[in-house]
C-alpha cells in the first residue's frame, strides 16, 4: 500500500472532524486541491482502513438528519444516489415500515400546516402535494389520510382501481 500524502490526509481529516462525508464527496473535494488520483485514492483507502471515513456511517447520519427535517424516503434515496452511495447501504438505512414514514409525514405536515386535520378535499390535496414533494410515497400519504378515515387520492379521483385494499 502506498503511503498517504500527509497534506491531503490532514485536509481530509479536518473535513471529517466537522461532519461525515461520503467517499465520493471527499474524492471530489480532494481533486479540487490536487489532480493526482493515485494520491487521493491512497488517502481515501487509508481513511477507510483506519475507520475515519465510512460510507455506512455517512449514510446512517444522512438519513437520520433528513428524517429529522421531515423528508421522505424518495427524496433521501435520490440524494444518497447522487452522492455515490451503494444501493445496498441506501436500502438498509432507509428501510422502515410504512407506519414509521407515516409518522414522519405527519410531523412534516403539522410543522407546515398546523395540527388540525384538513377539513376539505382541496386542503388534503394541497397537503398531499406538499408531502409528495418532500419525497413521501403515495402509499405513505394515502396511509396518513386513511389513518384519519380520509383518502385524498380517492377524493381527487386519482385512484381509479376498484381494489378496496388500495
**At which residue does the C-alpha cell 502506498 appear?**
2
pLDDT one digit per residue (tens) for the chain, 166 residues: 458 899 999 999 999 999 999 999 999 999 999 999 999 999 999 999 999 999 999 999 999 999 999 999 999 999 999 999 999 999 999 998 888 999 999 999 999 999 888 888 999 999 999 999 999 999 999 999 987 655 544 444 443 343 333 3
Long-range contacts of 153-158 (CB under 8 A, 24+ apart): 153/128, 155/121, 155/124, 155/125, 156/121, 156/125, 156/128
Structural domains in the chain?
Answer: 6-53 (1.10.10.10), 54-95 (1.10.10), 97-166 (no CATH)
Give yes or no for a contact between 48 and 9, defined as CB atoms under 8 angstroms apart: no
Measured between alpha carbons, how far is 142 from 102 in angstroms, rounded to an integer? Answer: 9
Among residues 85, 82, 21, the alpha carbon closest in space to that of 47 is found at 21
User: Of all helices (H) and strands (E), which one includes residue 93?
Assistant: helix 87-94
Q: Provide the pLDDT for residue 147.
A: 76
Q: Provide the pLDDT for residue 136.
A: 97
Amino acid at each position: 500500500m502506498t503511503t498517504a500524502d500527509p497534506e491531503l490526509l490532514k485536509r481530509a481529516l479536518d473535513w471529517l472532524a466537522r461532519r461525515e462525508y461520503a467517499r465520493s464527496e471527499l474524492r471530489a473535494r480532494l481533486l479540487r486541491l490536487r489532480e493526482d488520483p493515485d494520491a487521493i485514492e491512497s488517502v481515501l483507502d487509508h481513511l477507510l482502513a483506519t475507520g475515519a471515513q465510512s460510507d455506512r456511517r455517512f449514510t446512517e447520519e444522512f438519513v437520520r438528519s433528513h428524517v429529522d427535517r421531515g423528508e421522505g424516503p424518495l427524496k433521501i434515496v435520490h440524494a444518497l444516489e447522487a452522492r455515490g452511495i451503494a444501493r445496498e447501504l441506501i436500502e438498509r438505512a432507509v428501510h422502515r415500515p410504512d407506519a414509521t414514514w407515516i409518522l414522519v409525514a405527519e410531523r412534516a405536515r403539522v410543522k407546515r400546516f398546523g395540527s388540525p386535520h384538513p377539513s376539505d378535499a382541496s386542503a388534503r390535496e394541497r397537503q398531499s402535494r406538499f408531502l409528495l414533494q418532500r419525497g413521501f410515497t403515495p402509499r405513505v400519504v394515502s396511509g396518513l389520510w386513511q389513518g384519519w378515515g380520509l383518502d385524498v387520492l380517492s377524493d381527487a379521483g386519482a385512484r381509479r382501481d376498484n381494489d378496496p385494499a388500495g
